[in-house]
A and B are shown apart, each in its own frame.
Chain A
Amino acid sequence: MNINPTSSKSAFWLGYRDNIPFWLIVAPFGMLFGAVATEAGFTIIQTMIMTSFVVAGSSQFTALTLLQDGAPTLIILATSLAVNLRMAMYSAALVPHLGRAPLGMRALFAYFLVDQSYATSINAYTDNPEMTLIQKCRYFMGSFTCLLPVWLVSTYVGALIGAKIPPEYALDFAVPICFIALSAPMMRSLPHFMAALVSMGGTLIFISAPYSTGLLIAALLAMIAGVQTENWLKRRADND
């Protein structure tokens, strides 16, 4: 494949291409959300406005589940927003790469900052340190241009069909496969492994923390574990 991330036009298409595998995941996930939302009593208009305004599938599912359980509005908002707090970390991680873009563009990028656009972009930026700001911006645009239409159309189709999707398709596995596919290419070094281990262990230990904040506690510990391992390896290399 000779698409070159360091040419601007190619950078857009590279971002687009790198996200095509996630069609396989975003499409069933969107359909599932559409179906569950209409079952929960959402009109098609409410479903579509939610999905295009929030653009964060797992928090939308959280909100739906709590709504159906009859939870109070404030609890629903606090819990679903906590699910999205990880995006503040994505936002910070992109600053060294996209921070010099004009404010209007950063405001647009913020709207499209999802797990896939963050993960594929940061991987491309790390693998190609010679990418310029414009190329990085184009790559990011390519990533969300690839996925947003699929997310919207599949939600709409799911809302129209409405009926339950048969369990034989094992769609419950779309979400974990998605995050596995996003994180596996990030495992570059021992510190990354340590961070991943602490993230998994921490999530299990803090699973019952209020408002699903366990993940955030685990993530902070995991970042510290990654940096400490990195520093330890550096010290060991210096001593040799």
Chain B
Amino acid sequence: MTDPLKIWIIIFFLGVGTYLIRFSFLGLVGDRKLPKWFTQHLNYVGVAVMPGLIIPFLVWPDATGGALDAPRLIAAIAAFGIGMWRRSALWSVIAGITTLYTLMYILG
């Protein structure tokens, strides 16, 4: 059983810290102009962060004890391809979930 005080301390500082991270630029920079080279890099924030968040789940899925898993890999490719082609998160989610469940059902 974890000490309740430790839990509260973690909740408090994780909450405050996370808020300050989110507030940082948006709150403090406001309408001041950012240098051009800086905003040019910012255009790539999404594609620089999110693929990196995805890859460990694909290469070492927890559910299979860390072994590459064909249904997960193919579902990920389907979700990515369809999402890019349709430029749509909805189609990406639908493609990913249907592919995963279909393959898991077939391969049992």
Contact = CB atoms under 8 A, between A and B. Distances in A.
A15 interface: no
Contacts of B68: none
B11 A49 contact: yes
Contact of B26 (A99, A167, A198): A99
Interface stretch (A6-14, A101-109, A151-159): A101-109
Given A67-B6, A89-B42, A202-B52, A111 B22 contact: yes
A58 to B, nearest CB: 8
Contact of A88 (B25, B52, B72, B94): B25
Given A53-B11, A185-B87, A99 B52 contact: no
Contact of A67 (B10, B31, B32, B89): B10
Interface residues of A, number: 96
A111 B93 contact: no
B21 A185 contact: no
A230 B46 contact: no
Contacts of A81: 14, 17-18, 21
Main DSSP-derived SS at the B contact region = helix
A185 B44 contact: no
A161 interface: no
Interface string B58-80: 11011100000000100110011
Contact of A215 (B4, B52, B94): B52
Contacts of A94: 25-26
A185 B48 contact: no
Contacts of B14: 50, 54, 59-60, 63, 77, 80-81
A109 B26 contact: yes
Interface residues of B, number: 75
Main secondary structure of the interface of A (DSSP, over half): helix
A95 B1 CA distance: 43
Contacts of B37: 227
Contacts of B89: 18, 21-22, 120, 181-182, 184-185
Contact of B50 (A22, A63, A182): A182
Interface in B11-67: 11-15, 17-19, 21-27, 29-32, 34, 37-59, 61-63
Contact of A107 (B8, B23, B29, B42): B23
A16 to B, nearest CB: 13
Interface string A83-107: 0111111111111101110010011
Contacts of B32: 99
A48 B41 CA distance: 37
A59 B15 CA distance: 10
21 contacts: A21-B93, A25-B93, A41-B2, A46-B4, A67-B6, A86-B53, A87-B21, A87-B22, A91-B21, A92-B24, A95-B25, A95-B30, A96-B34, A170-B100, A176-B72, A179-B50, A179-B53, A180-B76, A185-B84, A187-B84, A200-B51
3 nearest A-B pairs in the assembled complex, by CB-CB distance: A184-B83, A222-B48, A226-B44
